[in-house]
Amino acid sequence: MKHASVSEVRDEINSALEQVIAGWQGPRVLVDAMRYSLMAGGKRFRPILVVSASQVVGGGGIDPVPAACAVEMVHTYSLIHDDLPAMDDDDYRRGKPTCHLVFGECLAVLSGDALLTDAFTLIVRSYSSRPELASSLVRELSTAAGSSGMVAGQVLDTDPGAREAEGADLERVHHLKTGALLRACVRMGALIGGASERDVARMDRYGMLLGLAFQVVDDCLDATGDLATLGKDPGSDREAGKVTYVDIMGVDGARDYARSLIDDALDELKDYGERAVALRWLARRVVERTC
């Protein structure tokens, strides 16, 4: 699937996810809950990043799609858990009632657990002929998602006491909560594509800048968007009393900051010519997006 357009990659990810789901053998109600959230219509930004980063460094002949699907499964788990009453208590996600409203809290917790766990099974099975690559991909994804990555960010974001005790500023919280997974996407794609250490380092910096810009724009959308365009309730940050980039810089200032982060991210791609077309497009989408 080298050099396919972004929408072709999205279609390929969606069909691959359907195939993954077809292989699930758990209780029907669990599979239904997992499928409901996974196929609810996300942008597939993270899996597209994995595939696009693999193309930048040559592609290497190894299929990035299973790793891309695994990242989307981890992302979907985090959204299901984030929406629970114990966390953000949200009613809508991806334009549909949240998983716990449809299936109940117990199944929502468990379907998130299963998506997270099955993501690693998918990687290990799909790359079994390349055990070193499989191990590197598991390390990248587990580190990004775990107690020193996304979960750490979620704790700092939801617990002001923990944030204060750790001396964590807003930027640190977002690097962990949103940036770590986006960074892992491009690092995983680069590893699948057979990247040199220098390329991985460039992808890492691109991912870090993109992740921060993504969150800054998310704060703007939370302050200015509506349910119809966002697919989730806006204003949840304000309701939860969270400090956002909009509080610090205003909407225009936050948008300017996001643009400057994206300019820096694009700089990291300047040596890759045509092979980085998709990564450049994705970076621009981060600041242009409305949902």
Nearer to ligand GRG, 93 or 187 (CB): 93
The total of other beta-carbon atoms located within 10 Å of residue 282's CB is 22
Q: Helix (H) and strand (E) counts for the chain?
A: 16, 2
Pairing state of beta strands 96-97 and 92-93? antiparallel
Residue sitting closest to ligand GRG (CB): 42
Nearer to ligand GRG, 110 or 133 (CB): 110
Question: At closest approach, how far in Å is the CB of 16 from ligand GRG?
Answer: 16
Q: Choose one: 57-65, 72-80, 129-137, 258-266; the region binding ligand GRG (CB under 6 A).
A: 72-80
Q: Phi-psi category of 244—alpha, beta or left, where left has phi over 0 and alpha has psi -120 to 50?
A: beta
Question: At closest approach, how far in Å is the CB of 151 from ligand GRG?
Answer: 5
Q: Does 52 bind ligand GRG (CB under 6 A)?
A: no
The token pair that represents 56 in the structure block: 């930048």
Q: Does 178 bind ligand GRG (CB under 6 A)?
A: yes
The three-class DSSP label of residue 66 is: helix
Q: Does 151 bind ligand GRG (CB under 6 A)?
A: yes
Q: Choose one: 74-82, 130-138, 199-207, 265-273; the region binding ligand GRG (CB under 6 A).
A: 74-82
Nearer to ligand GRG, 133 or 173 (CB): 173
Q: Nearest Cα to 211, choosing from 165, 180, 252, 255?
A: 180
User: What φ, ψ does residue 96 adopt, rounded to 5°?
Assistant: -130, 160
Question: At closest approach, how far in Å is the CB of 84 from ligand GRG?
Answer: 8
CB 197, CB 165: distance < 8 Å: no
**HSE-up of 79 (CA within 13 Å, CB side)?**
25
Q: Nearest Cα to 68, choosing from 263, 268, 278, 286?
A: 278
Nearer to ligand GRG, 43 or 125 (CB): 43
Nearer to ligand GRG, 138 or 145 (CB): 145
Q: Does 82 bind ligand GRG (CB under 6 A)?
A: yes
For ligand GRG, the binding residues (CB under 6 A) are 42-43, 45, 75, 78-79, 81-82, 94, 150-151, 154, 177-178, 215, 218
